[in-house]
């Protein structure tokens, strides 16, 4: 009986530990800009910086959080759409506790504490 109760506990516990996203729903039909591929969609919810880094990597096959330079390129490219918000995390760090973001409204950058939640769009190089 103890084993029978233990299995549902493990399932519930694993679901609570971390959330993984369906990579097909995030990546969609990637948009190519030079040697960069941009996921068609944002993650369905805002994430803190550490979650953003982990979830982009969890998509597999080289997907990652974009640099500030790549976010500027995405912003300037008219074929990219489906943005959920204005503020997007970059992989660029200011220091141990802060990382840079890109504001899609006005093409500005600044930094937030890494625990702040922002929108996320994955990229990969090919």
Contact 27, 94 (CB under 8 A): no
Q: What is the pLDDT of residue 2?
A: 53
How many domains does one find in the chain?
1
CA distance 56 to 38: 12
Structural domain span for residue 38: 2-125
Give, for all 126 residues of the chain, the pLDDT tens digit: 455 444 444 343 333 344 568 888 999 999 999 999 999 999 999 999 999 999 999 999 999 999 999 999 998 887 777 788 899 999 999 999 999 999 988 789 999 999 999 999 999 998
pTM (two decimals): 0.81
What is d(CA 51, CA 57) in angstroms, rounded to the nearest whole number? 10
pLDDT score recorded for residue 12: 39
Cα–Cα distances in angstroms (integers) from residue 105 to residues 32, 76, 97, in the given order: 22, 11, 25
- Residue 35: give its domain's CATH number: 3.10.100.10
Q: Give the DSSP per-residue string, 85-126.
A: -SEEEEEEESSSSEEEEEETTTTEEEEEETTS-BB---EEE-
Give residue 84's pLDDT. 85
Show Cβ contacts of residue 90 under 8 Å, excluding neighbours closer than 6 positions: 65, 66, 67, 68, 70, 71, 99, 100, 101, 102, 109
């Amino acid at each position: 009986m103890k084993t029978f109760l233990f299995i549902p506990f493990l399932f519930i516990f694993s679901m609570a530990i971390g959330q993984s996203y369906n990579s097909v729903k995030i990546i969609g039909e990637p948009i190519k800009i030079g040697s960069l591929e941009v996921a068609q969609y944002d993650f369905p919810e805002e994430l803190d910086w550490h979650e953003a880094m982990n979830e982009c990597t969890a998509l597999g096959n080289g997907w990652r959080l974009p640099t500030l330079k790549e976010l500027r390129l995405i912003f300037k490219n008219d074929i990219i759409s489906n943005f959920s918000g204005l503020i997007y995390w970059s992989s660029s760090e200011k220091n141990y506790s802060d990382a840079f973001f890109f504001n899609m409204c006005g093409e500005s950058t600044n930094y937030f504490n890494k625990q702040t939640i922002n929108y996320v769009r994955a990229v990969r190089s090919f």
